Amino acid sequence: MSTCAPKDAGHDRPVVTELRLSAFKSHRGATFALGPLTLLTGGSGTGKSSVLEGLSALGRLACGAELAEVFGSGVRGGAAACVPQGAQADAQGRRGFRIGCTVTGPVGPVRLDVAVQAEPTLRIVGERLTGAGETLLTTALRDPARRTVQAAWHTAGEVSVTRAPLPDNVLASALLPLRVSGRTDGQRLVLAAAEQLVVALRGIFPVAPRPEVMRAPVPHGDGRLRTSCDNLSAVLARTEGECATRHAALVNAVRAVCSPPVEGLTVLPAVLPPPGDGRMPLDAVIAAVDRGPLGVVPVDRLGDGELRFLALALVLLTGPGVLDVDTSTELLPAGQVLTVLGDGLDLGLDRRQLRELLRLAGTAAARGHIRLLGTVQDPQSAEGLGGVTVARLGEGRRVPAQDTGEEERGRAAAGAAGAAPAEENRAAGAGREEERGAAGAGRAEEG
């Protein structure tokens, strides 16, 4: 599969335009408007990383992952740490959290809200999907003794609603294509909205480059970049051979902000030791920088900052065919927008390197290929760059976003942590959802 994509396939592809952390970790009633390039900044402990964790969790749920996998090892502290700080258990000892998002696309805005019980048993107790002025799906935990929820989805035929039990440990919206026949207009609307939601959320790619694992040779052909970027060398070998234009753009970016001289980027052959089962040694590659008169320098000799910049630039210049994301099988990679999550985006980078990354992201966003949500310590690095929205967290109130030119001008990009009183989010509503069903999940606080 080629890593190149059409210059512009339109801007009506599904994208996540809002994240709601109604009750999640330190956030209560927080709403985050997500533009093409959104940066979160604030002091340590203000919940910047939690925002990215919430969106990443929704992405994994949309891929069909079970709750225990998503909120077990997938978030810091596990599911119990997702319960809002200070939330008290109800009479049955239940506590939980609520998250949601809005995905904009051909159907229009589609909203998903999910209520999760974390204690005493991890399970989804309420889910609501709305779009086109209709409630398309609701689920509710009717019998705590059973590991199912009662689901009801829009039919608009002879029967207005179809009801059926669904598992309580996976996202019901992601199961709809397997359960809805699409025979009525209502069912077709449900399918279109669910597909729009899933396509956008499956395109979420958290990137966290780890220089200490990027310096080793990797097997040739390991060509889908993982979150840690440990297989960067194999991916670079793939992109060098498949798309000269993007490879040249990557070289130019590295040349602009890394230690000179930089004449090019390439890979060198290497050999990995045999795995110990009698097989032959593995053919491998290691990325290298062509330093011109200084020779070709393998990446194991580069500094952490240069390696992080190289990995992040590679992510912003590639696409779903190269990154390890679970894309929709019904949609060509060129038709999907990737949402890149970068926690500590400026870690180890100087201001020039961060600005170059934002420039690359802006170019990809203008073509409809990439959206970026990152956390930074130095928001001044984005000054003067068009299309970058900066939101400050942790000041005890909502702070207007600094928007330098996108159409989302004027929309606050984040609700400050602690903006809503604790009683509005008591126990994240996990216990109450069992009685009120998905209606409560859909009525999650919106600030």
Q: For position 437, what pLDDT does the model report? A: 36
- If pLDDT is split at 50, 70 and 90, which confidence band does 276 have? low
Indicate whether 156 and 265 sit together in one domain.
Answer: no
* CA atoms of 232 and 222, how far apart (whole Å): 9
User: How crowded is residue 256: how many other Cβ atoms within 10 Å of its Cβ?
Assistant: 14
**What is the distance between the alpha carbons of residues 77 and 317, in angstroms, rounded to a whole number?**
33
Residue 41 has pLDDT above 50, yes or no: yes
Are the C-beta atoms of 60 and 52 separated by less than 8 Å?
A: no
pLDDT in tens, 187-246: 999 999 999 999 999 999 999 999 999 999 999 888 889 999 999 999 999 989 888 899
- In sequence order, what are the residues at sequence separation of 6 or more whose Cβ sits closer than 8 angstroms to the Cβ of residue 343? 48, 49, 52, 206, 208, 374, 375
Do 142 and 193 share a domain, yes or no?
yes
Q: Rounded mean pLDDT of the chain?
A: 84
Inside any domain, residue 376: yes
Q: How would residue 371 be classed by pLDDT, with cut points 50, 70 and 90?
A: very high
Q: Once rounded to an integer, what is the mean pLDDT over residues 42-71?
A: 96
Provide the phi-psi class of 60: left if phi over 0, else alpha when psi is between -120 and 50, else beta.
alpha
**Residue 83 in 3-state DSSP?**
coil
Confidence of residue 394 (pLDDT cuts 50, 70, 90): confident
Does the pLDDT of residue 2 top 70, yes or no?
no
**pLDDT value, residue 326:** 58
When mean pLDDT is compared across 34-38, 133-137, 158-162, the lowest value belongs to 158-162
Q: Collect all residues with Cβ–Cβ distance below 8 Å to 248 and sequence separation of at least 6.
A: none
Structural domain contains residue 387: yes
The CATH code of the domain that includes 36 is 3.40.50
What's the pLDDT at 117? Answer: 97
Same domain assignment for residues 420 and 274 = no
In a domain, 397, yes or no: yes
Contact 339, 260 (CB under 8 A): no
| Percentage of the chain modeled with pLDDT above 70 | 81
Which residues fall within 8 angstroms of residue 237, CB to CB, at 6 or more apart? 220, 223, 267, 285, 287
70-79, 148-157, 181-190, 346-355: least confidently modelled range: 70-79
Question: How confident is the model over 432-439, as a mean pLDDT?
Answer: 37
Task: Judge if 199 and 221 occupy the same domain.
Answer: no
* Shared domain check, 137 and 261: no
Residues 352 and 133: their CA atoms lie apart, in Å, by 46
Listing from the earlier edge strand, what are the strands of the sheet with 134-140? Answer: 27-33, 15-24, 95-105, 108-119, 123-131, 134-140, 148-154, 161-167
| Residues 105 and 174 occupy one common structural domain | yes
**8 A C-beta contact, residue 340 and residue 325:** no
One domain for residues 43 and 152: yes
> Are the CB atoms for 28 and 426 separated by under 8 Å?
no
- Residue (of 332, 331, 309) closest to 259 by Cα position: 309
Q: Which of 381, 377, 339, 375 is nearest to 359 (CA)?
A: 381
Domain's final residue, options 308, 343, 360: 308
C-alpha of 247 from chain center: 25
By residue range, what is the domain housing residue 152?
15-203+329-442
In a domain, 128, yes or no: yes
What confidence score (pLDDT) does residue 229 get? 95
Identify the pLDDT of residue 221: 87
Q: Are 244 and 353 in the same domain? A: no
Burial of 375 (0-12, 13-18, 19+ CB in 10 A): buried
DSSP 137: E
Q: Closest Cα to residue 30, out of 432, 442, 413, 441?
A: 413
Distance CA 156, CA 189 (A): 10
Q: What is the mean pLDDT of residues 297-301?
A: 96
Tell whether 72 and 188 lie within a shared domain. yes
User: For residue 244, what are its two tokens?
Assistant: 């000269």
Do residues 360 and 406 both lie within one domain?
yes
Q: Confirm if 415 and 32 have CB atoms less than 8 A apart.
A: yes
Which has the minimum average pLDDT: 82-91, 180-189, 348-357, 414-423? 414-423
Report d(CA 277, CA 320) in Å as an integer: 34
Mean pLDDT value across residues 28-49:
96
Contact indicator for 273, 175 with CB cutoff of 8 Å: no
Residue 323 confidence (pLDDT): 77
Q: Which residues contact 246 (CB under 8 A, 6 or more apart)?
A: 3, 4, 239, 317, 318
Do 128 and 226 lie in one domain? The reply is no
What is the number of other CB atoms lying within 10 angstroms of the CB of residue 85? 12
- pLDDT value at residue 149: 97
pTM: 0.85
Question: What pLDDT was estimated at residue 336?
Answer: 82
Per the structure, the count of domains in the chain is: 2
